[in-house]
Structure 1
């Protein structure tokens, strides 16, 4: 399976993500709330642009079913995920206006520019290879730190993280992996996009921890 090989190749990057202090402290409940607030503001901006990139990918889909997959992901991002974020923002004393006014940091800008350029210029499956690390790594982070989360004393952290342990989220990751595994493309062809996005995921956590 192409996705199994992609995951294996990216393991060194992903292990750094699992051990990143933002991730570890968030799941343990020791992350300063101001760092989490900064992350939420940045991630809201990310989601807006992520949906735009998915819409671009839909236009490059080789068939209606795959176009539907990309559009459903885009729709889910701007409805369900953003609604969840609005609730989280309120819980930490922020508003949607705060999120809309927040200036994206340089990693955020660069990551989004990368995704949108891939989805505007490359093939559909290359786009999906670039999207997959975001979805998949969040699921694995939650699995790796499941025991920490169970003892996490911060309710908003538990609420945020529990999404990535849900059966629905696991099914989504499985669906996206299936799209790539059925593409007929080799891991070698998909690797540059999967690797770059994995690196951006690591850098996004670092930027959130540093606050810039």
Structure 2
């Protein structure tokens, strides 16, 4: 397992990461990820996260599928379509394993309300797929790839041997070399598209990348707090 190589100097991705560097560090240092690193994250929080993430991945896959239909290069279209399939199949298989391990039933899952942060993030991606141009959609999608790989690699570097870690499968999934290669492909695609775009379009891409990174932080924060809708008290169950 290895970390990603440094982004190429001067590319869009290098600038976008630098622009959001403080936020990316805050994501790594968030109490959820700090507790996950230590193996001290309680199961209730992780189970809440797993349910939210499984629902998020549906919207993420829809955004990837929309991007694949707009790609002019067949190789790019195939990569995006394959990533959509991976979101729905491979990563959800990881979730299913944890659901089984925690002894959750379908009734338990159905009883967990989709959090405000999960709803907002998936709505942002679906909205980007509907109304934003292809370069902006790609920039909105990229943080889910890149941030997870970054967090997984940072946790693996901090832990070292994860053989006895309670969240070993999660760490290995996102610190895996194959996932790192997919992230690098995504970054190279975004860099190529940004290089062909004009300055106003690149600014829109940067705004989308930053907003998606904000939603990444909010997603983990929502899981840490097991976020609920503050208006639920006024609505029937």
TM beyond 0.5: yes
* Larger mean Cα displacement after TM superposition, 94-103 or 27-36: 94-103
Residue range with higher mean Cα deviation, 141-150 or 177-186 = 141-150
Q: 1:107, 1:207 within 8 Å by CA — same for their partners in 2?
A: yes
Question: Any idea what SS the aligned residue of 1:102 has?
Answer: coil
Contact 1:28–1:152 (CA under 8 A) maintained in structure 2: no
Q: How does 1:73-88 map to 2 (within 5 A)?
A: 73-88=83-98
Question: 177-186 or 58-67, which moves further after superposition?
Answer: 58-67
Moved more, 61-70 or 126-135: 61-70
Cross-structure match for 2:223: 208
Q: Mean alpha-carbon deviation: is it higher for 118-127 or for 198-207? A: 118-127
Q: Which residue of 1 aligns with 2:60?
A: 50
Q: Point out the structure with the larger helix share.
A: 1
Choose which of 129, 135, 146 in structure 1 pairs with 2:139: 129
Instruction: Work out whether 1:195 is the aligned partner of 2:210.
Output: yes
Q: Which moved more, 1:49-58 or 1:184-193?
A: 184-193
CA distance in 1, matches of 2:41, 2:48: 12
Hey, what does 1:108 align to over in structure 2? 118
CA distance in 1 between counterparts of 2:143 and 2:216 reads 8
Aligned to 2:173: 163
The alpha-carbon deviation at position 153 of structure 1 amounts to: 8.5
- Unaligned 5+ runs, structure 2: 1-10, 228-237
Unmatched runs of 5 consecutive residues or more in structure 1: none
Pick one of 8, 14, 18 that aligns with 2:28.
Answer: 18
Q: Output the CA distance in 2 between the equivalents of 1:73 and 1:120.
A: 19
- Please, what is the CA RMSD of the aligned residues? 1.9
- Name the CA distance, whole Å, in 2 between partners of 1:33 and 1:154: 16
Q: 1:208 offset after TM fit, Å?
A: 0.4
What's the TM-score, normalizing by structure 1? 0.91
1:101, distance to aligned residue in structure 2 (A): 5.2
Distance 1:190 1:84, change over 3 A: same
Q: Taking structure 2 as the reference length, what is the TM-score of the superposition?
A: 0.82
Moved more, 129-138 or 170-179: 129-138
Q: Deviations over 1:56-79 (max 9, x none)?
A: 222332343332222111111112
- Cα distance in structure 1, aligned partners of 2:112 and 2:56: 11
Partners in 2 of 1:77 and 1:151 — Cα distance? 26
Computing the radius of gyration from Cα coordinates, the structure with the larger value is: 2
